Structure 1
Amino acid sequence: MRAMLPSAVLLAVVLGGCKPPEPAPQPVTTASMAEPPPAAQQDDAQQDDAQPAPPVAISQASFLGYGDMRLGETVEQARAAWGGELNGLPGQDSSCYYLTPKWVARPADFAFMIEDGRFVRYDVGTDKETAPGGGKVGMSATELQAMYGGALASAPHKYVEGGQYLSIDASGVAPSKLVFEVDAAGIVTAWRVGLLPQADYVEGCS
């Protein structure tokens, strides 16, 4: 049969009008259908694969406390929950003082208030921390009100003319309160979360 195959092919050519047989169509593959992306797109795709997006930072601030530290617990419990070094000592004439992590250069940026031997409040003056609900230093009062559904109560600032305090209670989550300090330009300069009455101390421990 193999010896007769060329003759059969020749006969088919003669009968077909001496036209050579058309080549068999090549199978279409996925690779042949898809156009390769431009070099720039390939580079971007490789960079995306090599450099995944960084994870979104999760705030440790809550109406209950900060991280594992819980408002109302003793200073010993708060120190243990923090797990790192905290600087600060009570004064001779006051039971209220602040503890700050050793990496804090300016106590006004981040500090824990201790009163009568208990952790009662924490103060934030930097945009590196996010308040419960999403508020931050640097936001406008208008942005805050929109973020908190217009539920922030307003009161005049005691020391900044044209400034204000915007605050909201934890509403059953905890016996605590969130207070934003807003300057005359309507920008948040600091915020704090604490038990009452300590959350309303406008001078801190002073």
Structure 2
Amino acid sequence: MRVATATALLLVLSACGDRGPARTPDVATPAPAVEPASQPSSGTPPPPPGAANGAMPAPGVIGFAGFGPAPFGSTEEQLRMAWGRELGGMKPDTPQGCYYLMPQPRTQRGYRIAFMFEDQRFVRMDVNAEDIEAPGGGRVGMSTQQIEQLYAGHVQVQNHKYVEGGKYLRVPNPDGGAGVVLFETDASGRVTTWRIGEPPQVDYVEGCS
């Protein structure tokens, strides 16, 4: 009976092993700058909201200069290699157009992280997940006061174009580089989404629209 049970378990594990994320075939790639979403274990607290709903960037990989080994200005191929998992999105009608690549498949919580390209260059990242951290420590769900404390002396406050009472909290790279992280808040002063990139694309209010 034990032999039969062990054989059945081995067959189940083998079948599950074929369901991993698709990767680009026959291309030598560096270690991806993402890590699997963490799973709760016995005796440990659960992960932040959304952590079980999609791939997570490795800690510290998002920076004012870009996404790990893919700095702003990189090609789509370089960004795909840095992400290391499946990305999908609609291409523009012209090579100079703007478009996003997003992790696939999409999660119930939306896109979580999206990579903007314009003129065939990687120019910006958009994040709407509580468990993905901006350089300097900012996150979705934080208050305006928390953002101002984290980036003391560097926050530029602007009125939101569409949300009455909402704000844009714009933080240029404290070290003097071209990168900017921009937090959007609702009327209550809570961060609902953030993006990071270089001007002018980081300031596009409607994304690629």
Q: Report the TM-score, using the length of structure 2 for normalisation.
A: 0.67
CA deviation map 1:43-82 (0-9, x unaligned): xxxxxxxx7999xx82421111123321111112212222
1:113 aligns with 2:116: yes
Please say if residues 62 and 132 of structure 1, whose CA atoms lie closer than 8 Å, have aligned partners that are also in contact.
yes
Aligned length: 155
Question: Which residue in 1 is equivalent to 2:30?
Answer: none
CA deviation map 1:123-160 (0-9, x unaligned): 00110100010000000001111111142110000000
Q: Which amino acid aligns with 1:78?
A: L
Question: Which residue in 2 is equivalent to 1:169?
Answer: 172
Please say if residues 133 and 147 of structure 1, whose CA atoms lie closer than 8 Å, have aligned partners that are also in contact.
yes
Separation in 2 of the partners of 1:186 and 1:193? 19
Separation in 1 of the partners of 2:140 and 2:69? 23
Separation in 2 of the partners of 1:103 and 1:60? 21
Q: Percent identity?
A: 47
Q: Which 10-residue stretch deviates more, 67-76 or 120-129?
A: 67-76
Please say if residues 104 and 110 of structure 1, whose CA atoms lie closer than 8 Å, have aligned partners that are also in contact.
no
- 1:87-166 maps to which residues of 2 (within 5 A)? 87-92=88-93, 95-105=97-107, 108-166=111-169
Please say if residues 60 and 66 of structure 1, whose CA atoms lie closer than 8 Å, have aligned partners that are also in contact.
yes
Please say if residues 64 and 181 of structure 2, whose CA atoms lie closer than 8 Å, have aligned partners that are also in contact.
yes
Please say if residues 100 and 112 of structure 1, whose CA atoms lie closer than 8 Å, have aligned partners that are also in contact.
yes
Structure number with larger C-alpha Rg: 1
Separation in 2 of the partners of 1:53 and 1:136? 19
Runs of 5+ in structure 2 lacking a partner? 1-42, 47-57
Alpha carbons of 1:138 and 1:53: their partners in 2 closer, same or farther (altered >3 Å)? closer
Alpha carbons of 1:107 and 1:121: their partners in 2 closer, same or farther (altered >3 Å)? farther
Separation in 2 of the partners of 1:124 and 1:52? 26
Question: Which residue in 1 is equivalent to 2:67?
Answer: 66
Considering only aligned residues, what root-mean-square deviation do their CA atoms show, in Å? 2.4
Secondary structure of the residue aligned to 1:76 is: helix
Separation in 1 of the partners of 2:129 and 2:98? 22
